[in-house]
Structures are given as structure tokens and as C-alpha cells.
Structure 1
Amino acid sequence: MKTYKLSIIILLIGLATSCKSARTVAATGEISDNISAKQLIKENAKQDAKFKTLQARVKIDYTQDLQEQGYTVNLRIEKDKTIWINATLGLARAMITPDKVRFYDRINNQYFEGDYTLLSNLLGVELNFKKVQSLLLGESLFNLKDGKYIASTNDTSYILQPKEQTALLELFLLLNPSHFKMDSQQLLQPLKKRFLQVDYLAYQDIDKEILPKDIKIMAIENNEEIIIAMEYKSVSLNEEVRFPFKIPSGFKEIILADAQ
């Protein structure tokens, strides 16, 4: 996997929420065999994030080819409008809006500016701003009200899956019985040999909102595997935020042909 691909994945997936006064949510809910898919979707929707802005420092450790590296990034979000990420010492910066993705990398002196095609190619899932934001907040990548789902259980979670899975994409969503946020999102594309699993290992209560605390991501394409672990610190909600972004002069543009 090319360096810029890894950099973008780290920046974009290494986002979630925490709070200086946060309280870890205990997973004490009991599973009911009688709950329907419709009820699960309704309860899950009640937990959608309601904050206006978020700021955080996020510690990210990732492993590729048995080599582990660490980053710390600053994250700012204006919900439904902007996601801004700045790596330590300004080595990389990204700004994502509903109509544009921008990113630059000072290590390799390169940048990208365009639509969501590049991100969709990287993760193997058609993405837009809403999906990226939802992934980072422990919410479903897909609008559950748009499809037909069936419900089942395992020992610790409720499981939602489309009533009819396809050869192009198999989807499994595991919901926490305590608060109905995601325990895990698992997307398999057998024909393209791609697999993405996002596990939400712990949640916390921040100003009466249930938001992720620890996340683990595993992305596999052919024989390449990346594992990312995140720890979220020093987060504040609903404060004024700024989104400075300017591509440095002399950087080489990343073109879509290189991403495929």
C-alpha cells in the first residue's frame, strides 16, 4: 500500500470522540431474544450524536507488515459540515466537507484535492461526508431506514444484517445491548478480496451523549493488512473551532489513477 494511502487512512479513520470529564459506559445490558430489527434500528437512531462542535487529541497506533508506528493528531469537527485533522508538527493535514476532500503530506510533499472517489477506493466502500462522520462516531455507515434487515444475537451483541446479502457486499452490524450504539461494523467484499472491520471497544458518556472511547480498525485488501488502535484524550464539545487549511506551494498532486 502506498505511503499516501496509509497516511490518509490513519487521518480519516483515527477520529472519534472523548471528553475531559467523560464517564466510561459500562456494558451491562441484557440481550432480549424478542426484540425486532425495527426496534433495534429505532433505538440505534436515538443515540445519534447531537453536539455542534468537537475538539480532541487522538493517539493512534497502527501496524502494517508487523511494523508498528504511532501518531498523535488534533481533531476538530463541526457536525455535518467539516472534519479537520492535523498531525503532530503539522506533518499532515486534512479537511473534509460534504462536497470536497483535501489532504496534504509534508513528509512526501504531496497533496490531494477532489471528491470522495479516492477515499472510496482506499476503503473499498462508496463514501460521502455522512458515512465518514458516522463511522467516526460509532454510527452505522448505512442509513438503516432505507433497507430491510433481520435481527439475531450472539453472546454479547445484537446483530443486524440485510435481509438479502449480495455477492458484492456482505454487511454485519453488531449493536450494544446497553445503549444500542455499534459494537462492530463488518464489511466484506469477496470478489475484490476486501474486508473492513471497525470495533468500538468502549464508549463513554459525554454531556449525556454516548460516544466512542476506544476503537480498533482492521482493513485487509488482498494480502495487505492494517490494524489501527486509537485512544482519545483532551476532548471538548460545543466550543468555537477554526479550520485553517492551505496547501503548501511546490507540493505534487496525488492523481486518482495512482489510487487504483
Structure 2
Amino acid sequence: MKSLKITTACLFLILGVSCKSARSVVANGEIDNKLTSKQLIRENGKNDASFKTLQAKVKIDIIDGLKESSYSLSMRMEKDKTIWISATLGLARAMITPDRVQFYDKINNQYFDGDYKLLSDLLGVELNFDKVQSLLIGEPLFNLKDDTYVISNNEASYILQPKNQNSILELFLLFNPSHFKMDSQQLLQPSKKRFLQIDYTGYQDVDKQILPQNIKIIAVEDSEELNVMMEYKSVSINEEVRFPFNIPSGFDEIILDDAK
């Protein structure tokens, strides 16, 4: 059942953002050793996404142990309200809203209808709609104004971490010196042997907004590792979008009592 839970969760997470006529961003900025954590947080906030709607084609590659699979999906989003995903021919479809997570699979005649506990338990982070949306559009999972951070750097990125790291959940945020968007988000739970890393390996300029182009998610628990690579194509923003979703009758409900 664990592989089913992981695959289901990945379908909820396979979303991103891009735009038609977008240009790839060349990241060639240099590290400023005098930059403070407050200045970095302020610069990052200036580049928050401000679109109203978007739709895109998303290419997905998933590596789960020795199993590899690829998908082409359609994705639509109304920012802060709805995230919708549909596989080819509508064989699988998911819809996420601030208070609900829904999914159905016509191949196996099954569906899921519940809250964010599945994703939260699987990834080891308390998730909600805002966190899922932020993760997928290259913004920090956590509100950076809610804590005090210290800054350091490596050769390519600024690194923020809480001044007082939580022993239960350690957090490291890496920012690009060119545009101050995220290079990586890394969350570690040592006691549960869990590690989650979201790498933003490419960005694009969309109507003067800098948005992700390629994302890689690595989720590790004990000795098991899941890799998800996403590429966003044929995207448009601020156009009218619809979110058709209706769980077919006769499908079996997916019950995940033990998501841990």
C-alpha cells in the first residue's frame, strides 16, 4: 500500500507554473557577503507570483525505487483557490482546494476524497493549500516573517536557516543570487529518518515574473527514495479556466488509515 500512497500523493503534487512565450532565466548573479537575512527576505518577497490563473502541459518523470514512469498532464490553477490536474483522456484527475483534496483513477476504479493528512503524514510536514501552492511556484513553504533567520552562503546560493533550529524538523532554504527566488528547500526529520528536498533547477521570465521551469522533488524515508522531475510547457496565464470534476459512481474509496 505504501507505493499506492506515494503515487497518489505525487499526483497531487505534480503541479507547477510557467507561461507562453516565456524566456529561460540565466542565473549568473554573484554572492554578496554583506547581504543580511532581512534584506534577502525582502528581496525574495518582491518576486512573489501575482498571476490570477494559469494552465499548462506538465511532463512528469517519477522514479520510485527501481520503477520508472512518465506522464503528460494538463494543469489549471486559480491562485489561492484551486489546483486541478487531469491525465490524458481524463483517466485520472485531481482537484485541490484550501479545505479538500480529491482524486480519482479510472484505470483502477478508485478515488480519494479527504483533507491534507495524507500529504502531511507522507512528507512529514504539516501541509495546507498555501504550502502546496508555494512549494510548486518556487516560494518558501513557511512565512519567513514568522521566525528569525541567520544567513550564510555556499558558492552558488544564499542559505537561510532558523536562528534556533527545531530538533524535530530542521529547515534549510537556498536562494538564487540572481533573482532571489528559491534554489532549494530542504527539510530534515532525524528522529523519523525522513528527508524532503525540493530543487528548482530552472526558472523562466513570464511577463516580468520569475517562475519555475523545472522542479525536482526528492523524498526519503528510511532506505526508500522517491524522485519526481517536472517540466512545464505550453503555459498561459490570466485566461478563463474551468475545473470539471466529478467522481464516477461505483468507484472504490481509497482508505489510508496508516499514512506513516
> Normalising to structure 1: TM-score of the pair?
0.97
User: Secondary structure at 1:108's aligned position in 2?
Assistant: coil
- Tell me which stretches of 4 or more aligned residues in structure 1 moved more than 2 Å: 1-4, 6-10
Over 3 Å counting, the alpha-carbon distance change for 1:57 and 1:133 in structure 2 is same
Whether the 8 Å CA contact 1:16–1:232 is kept in 2: the answer is yes
| Per-residue Cα deviation, 1:207-259 (whole angstroms, up to 9, x for no partner) | 11100001111111112111111111100000000000111111111224142
Match in the other structure for 2:85: 85
In the alignment, the residues of structure 1 paired with residue 80 and residue 95 of structure 2 have an alpha-carbon distance, to the nearest angstrom, of 13
Match in the other structure for 1:145: 145
In the alignment, the residues of structure 2 paired with residue 161 and residue 258 of structure 1 have an alpha-carbon distance, to the nearest angstrom, of 31
| Per-residue Cα deviation, 1:161-217 (whole angstroms, up to 9, x for no partner) | 011112210100000001111000000111111111010001000111100001111
Match in the other structure for 1:157: 157
5+ residue gaps in structure 2?
none
5+ residue gaps in structure 1?
none
Match in the other structure for 2:247: 247
Give RMSD over aligned pairs. Answer: 1.2
Which one-letter code corresponds to 1:147 in the other structure? D
Which stretch has the larger CA shift, 119-128 or 107-116? 107-116
In the alignment, the residues of structure 1 paired with residue 124 and residue 108 of structure 2 have an alpha-carbon distance, to the nearest angstrom, of 24
Match in the other structure for 2:167: 167
User: Secondary structure at 1:257's aligned position in 2?
Assistant: coil
Summarize the alignment of residues 1-260 of structure 1 with structure 2, pairs less than 5 Å apart. Answer: 2-260=2-260
In the alignment, the residues of structure 2 paired with residue 174 and residue 32 of structure 1 have an alpha-carbon distance, to the nearest angstrom, of 14
Which one-letter code corresponds to 1:249 in the other structure? S
In the alignment, the residues of structure 2 paired with residue 4 and residue 251 of structure 1 have an alpha-carbon distance, to the nearest angstrom, of 16
CA shift, 1:3, in A, is 4.1
| Per-residue Cα deviation, 1:104-152 (whole angstroms, up to 9, x for no partner) | 1222222111211111112111000000000000000000000110000
CA shift, 1:50, in A, is 0.1
**What fraction of aligned residue pairs are identical, expressed as a percent?**
69
In the alignment, the residues of structure 2 paired with residue 115 and residue 9 of structure 1 have an alpha-carbon distance, to the nearest angstrom, of 12
How many correspondences in the alignment? 260
Over 3 Å counting, the alpha-carbon distance change for 1:244 and 1:3 in structure 2 is farther
Which stretch has the larger CA shift, 163-172 or 249-258? 249-258
Whether the 8 Å CA contact 2:202–2:213 is kept in 1: the answer is yes
In the alignment, the residues of structure 1 paired with residue 80 and residue 46 of structure 2 have an alpha-carbon distance, to the nearest angstrom, of 17
Which one-letter code corresponds to 1:107 in the other structure? I
Which one-letter code corresponds to 2:126 in the other structure? E
In the alignment, the residues of structure 1 paired with residue 132 and residue 49 of structure 2 have an alpha-carbon distance, to the nearest angstrom, of 14
